[in-house]
Structure 1
Amino acid sequence: MEALLEKSGSKTPLIAGMSLIWADWLKEEDLQDLVEHPLLQALERNEASLATVRTLLIQHSHYSRHFTRYLCALMGQLSDPADVMALMENMREEMGVDGGSAITHAEMFQRTLRVVGAAPASHAPLPQTLAMVDTMMGHCQSSDALAGLAAMCLGAEAIVPLIYRPILQALQHHGFGEDATEFFSLHIEEDEDHALTMLAIMQRLTLDQDARREQAIAVGRELIARRVAMFDAIWAHCQTQPAAAPAAAPAGHFSSADFWRVPSQLQAQLPERLSHEQVMAASQGGDQAFSSERKHKVHIVDLPSRTISLTIGRLEEGEATRLHRHNYETVIYVTQGQGYSRIGDRQVPWRAGDAIYVPVWAEHQHVNTGAEECVYLACENAPLLQNLGGIALREELSA
């Protein structure tokens, strides 16, 4: 663990990396319970398995999926319109209105879950996670706005860097790129500003009222204790899971230390998921985020393939994809509609039943010229390049 900051005046020392502005509101022993938790320590030391990371992300999703409800409930208890507007800035960032993000923070987190292979539906919320949700919501719904402010500020926003940095470290260690890490890096940068906004309101509500200030501190301590209890349950759950067989290849990537893991004979290893039912009908958050980035409808075929990917693209009448290029190959099969693709300096017409090939790094764009929606399947070898060392590259050439 990082060294503790030395005392500054009358302030209690805090964990390194946190501003001393929190010394009057957060207790050193609570923060130590958090950062010294074996779960976060394992993440920070690159000792947490990918299964552990997935379990943590799933439980965090069960808690964080209610974030906008927490915030809305809190804003409903504030009497000063200026305070409501101040917290609305947080809401606007969450919804992707501010901050330059094309997708909401919720969609960004769903993309993380999809890329990492953490399916919330695969594991019910632990009792300690539900207790965390209920405690946070109860304080945010309290008629005393100070309770909700303390819960959100001291029990969440102010301590985000302490929690998200180890998660970010673990994701990077397991070889995941920006699609998986952007949510955490963004919140590490932004959430202290949100916390300071809430702190300013708390300072005004507790001005010269020591009892009120102690009440707010107690709420923050309760929420940190709930989070530590949730981490306890996650860690205990992960410790009881059967260990991977010694000869199993490490998840995510190989290094020179793994050369001996090459087997002497082939053996089928069946993953848990072998089908993705009703791909187009069951569009998930990740699809919405992907479509937002691509500027047209795209459905991701979510299967555990390590070398190829398959997506279903859709173009409305007169719609076109953005001009782009990438260093992975693409084979496209058109199932409905007609149009053309600009590939390099050539224009390639197509209609339902045709297949087209897009070479590596050739700039290209697909255009629907028909009177109905165009639907096509795109098969690419991007996962192969990603698993070879994160060398897949895509470049957008038009807005």
Structure 2
Amino acid sequence: MTAVAMKNRKTPLVAGISLIWADWLKEQDLLGLLEHPLLQALANGEACLATLKSLLLQHSHYSRHFTRYLCALMGQLDEADDVLALMENMREEMGVDGVSRVTHAEMFQRTLSMLGLAPVDEAPLPETLAMVDTMMAHCQDRDALCGLAAMCLGAEAIVPLIYRPILQALQHFGYGKEATEFFSLHIEEDEDHALTMLTIMQRLTQGDDARRSLAARIGSELIARRIAMFDAIWARSQAQTLPASGDGRFSSADFWRVPSRLRANVPDRLSHSQVMQASQGGDQRFSSERKHKVHIVDLPSNTISMTIGRLDEAEGTRLHRHNYETMIYVMQGEGYSRIGERKVPWRAGDAIYVPVWAEHQHVNTGAGEAVYLACENAPLLQNLGGIALREELGVTSA
């Protein structure tokens, strides 16, 4: 099948990748790229500008060697026609194809410049260096199939999956043609380059399943190297959304960490099993201070707290007040709450509200234990600068 005929088969293997690659690229590898959180965040406008810049800088450390990769590969080819075919790719890279006098390297440097970046701004990550070394090693292999597989399957064929989210992110942040031309051009052109290499690969592997499997394995290896680089960039960007102070506080120095859109940050711990049955030191200390039994719901919320309070028969809390709101749901028993000058009766199934700074006390008047669930916004005030305040006013008679 000719390159033109192959290109005309438009059924996608995954979104953005033609079915012509079905025998060479593994769907799970492509999905690893397509569904990578870094590329997803870029495509959806959820990545902050600092993350985009880091990706561009790491990509610059890899792509600056592109002509070296290509020259090394051409040096392994036996057929002059194959060398000439890849020279067309080189001519485009060098800007001497009769269409543009600007090299692709210069276009990419223009992108960096528009974002105020230079490659020296960020050292290459170990994962980036590993991808560079792996690509170069395959391109220098005396078996030309190795370099072709690395360049074709591990780079040119997957350009749309990588460059399209970057292009969308640049457009999201308002950058124009000067910043986006490199990526627009490569999304349009690199499939032709990939098909040129694929034609040579098909001839070199014709009728040899072992050779075809070798090429596919090398493609998978390069995709894995690239995913590892994306993993490292994403992990670092996630860490950078945490306060720089190290004490859990955000300050004006962290303003640049604010993303352009929200994204889910799902913590490892999402449940607290058997809250009332678990015996914790925090519960015991809190109960001792409050003078009645309290169980703390220990979950990683930044804005609300939840506790379960228990009052024995005829027991009441101390009179107190605080500058955060409270909503209480009575799970068991009956009694009343003194809130300011008012006496508010309650029983199981009722909910009550305690306003900011109102003096209040809860009293059990039932025949057995009273149990209630309290939700407060104290953590919000604590995380806003430690401005949550509670004042004990002593004990009042029921």
Within-5 A mapping of 1:320-335: none
**Larger gyration radius, structure 1 or structure 2:** 2
Distance 1:226 1:160 in 2: 15
1:239 CA drift (Å): 1.2
Tell me the amino acid that sits aligned with residue 145 of structure 1: A
**AA partner of residue 158 (structure 1):** A
Provide structure 1 residue ranges, at least 5 long, that are not aligned to the other structure.
1-11, 255-399
* Paired AA for residue 39 in structure 1: L
Structure 1 position 208 matched with structure 2 position 207: yes
Q: How big is the shift at 1:108? A: 0.5
Give 1:237 shift: 1.2
Percentage of pairs with the same residue: 74
In the alignment, what sits opposite 2:90?
A: 91
In the TM superposition, residue 87 of structure 1 has moved relative to its aligned partner by 0.1
Counterpart in 2 of 1:182? 181
In the superposition, the TM-score normalised over structure 2's length comes to: 0.58
Q: How many aligned positions are there?
A: 244
The Cα offsets for residues 52-107 of structure 1, whole Å up to 9 and x where unpaired, read as 00000000000000000000000000000000000000000001112622310000
CA offset at residue 238 of structure 1?
1.1
CA contact (8 A) 2:12 2:18 kept: no
CA distance in 2, matches of 1:83, 1:225: 28
Tell me which residue corresponds to 1:119.
118
Give RMSD over aligned pairs: 2.4
Matches within 5 A, 1:1-399: 14-98=13-97, 100-242=99-241
Whether contact under 8 Å (2:57, 2:122) holds in the other structure is yes
CA contact (8 A) 1:55 1:118 kept: no
* Structure 1 position 17, deviation (Å): 2.0
Shift of 1:19: 1.2
Contact 1:13 1:28 in 2 (8 A): no
Q: Distance in 1 between matches of 2:234 and 2:132?
A: 18
Secondary structure of the residue aligned to 2:76 is coil
d(CA) in 2 for partners of 1:38 and 1:110?
A: 26
Task: Find the counterpart in structure 2 of residue 364 from structure 1.
Answer: none
Amino acid at match of 2:162: I
Query: Does the 8 Å contact 1:75/1:87 carry over to 2?
Result: yes
Q: Residues 158, 127 of structure 1: CA spacing in aligned structure 2 closer, same or farther, 3 A cutoff?
A: same
Structure 1 range deviating more: 149-158 or 116-125: 116-125
Q: Find the aligned partners of 2:97 and 2:172 in 1 and give their Cα distance.
A: 30
Identify the residue that residue 386 of structure 1 maps to in structure 2.
Answer: none
Mapped to 2, the partners of 1:156 and 1:189 lie a distance apart of: 14
Partners of 2:109 and 2:188 in 1: how far apart?
A: 19
SS at structure 1 position matched to 2:14: coil
Shift in Å, 1:122: 1.4
Amino acid at match of 2:30: L
Once the two structures are overlaid, the 10-residue window that deviates more, 223-232 or 239-248, is 239-248
* 1:99–1:30 distance in 2 versus 1, CA, 3 Å: farther
Q: For the residues of structure 1 that align with 2:251 and 2:156, how far apart are their CA atoms?
A: 40
Say if 1:13 and 1:23, in contact at 8 Å, map to a contact too. no
The AA in structure 2 aligned to 1:205 is L
Residues of 2 paired with 1:203 and 1:48: CA distance?
Answer: 39
Give the distance between the partners of 2:232 and 2:223, measured in 1 at CA.
Answer: 14
| Cα distance, 1:59–1:21 mapped onto 2, change above 3 Å | same
1:139-195 Cα offsets, whole Å, 9 max, x none, are: 000000000000000000000000000000000000000010000000000000000
- TM-score, normalized by length of structure 1? 0.58
Gapped regions of structure 2 (runs ≥ 5): 1-10, 244-249, 261-398
Contact map agreement 2:42 2:165 (CA 8 A) in 1 = yes
Query: Does structure 2 conserve the Cα–Cα contact (< 8 Å) formed by 1:74 and 1:148?
Result: yes
Give the Å deviation of 1:119. Answer: 2.2
User: Match of 1:14, SS?
Assistant: strand
The code of the aligned residue for 1:233 comes to A
Contact 1:54 1:117 (C-alpha < 8 Å) held by counterparts: no
Give 1:246 deviation, angstroms.
8.8
CA distance in 2 between counterparts of 1:129 and 1:250 reads 25
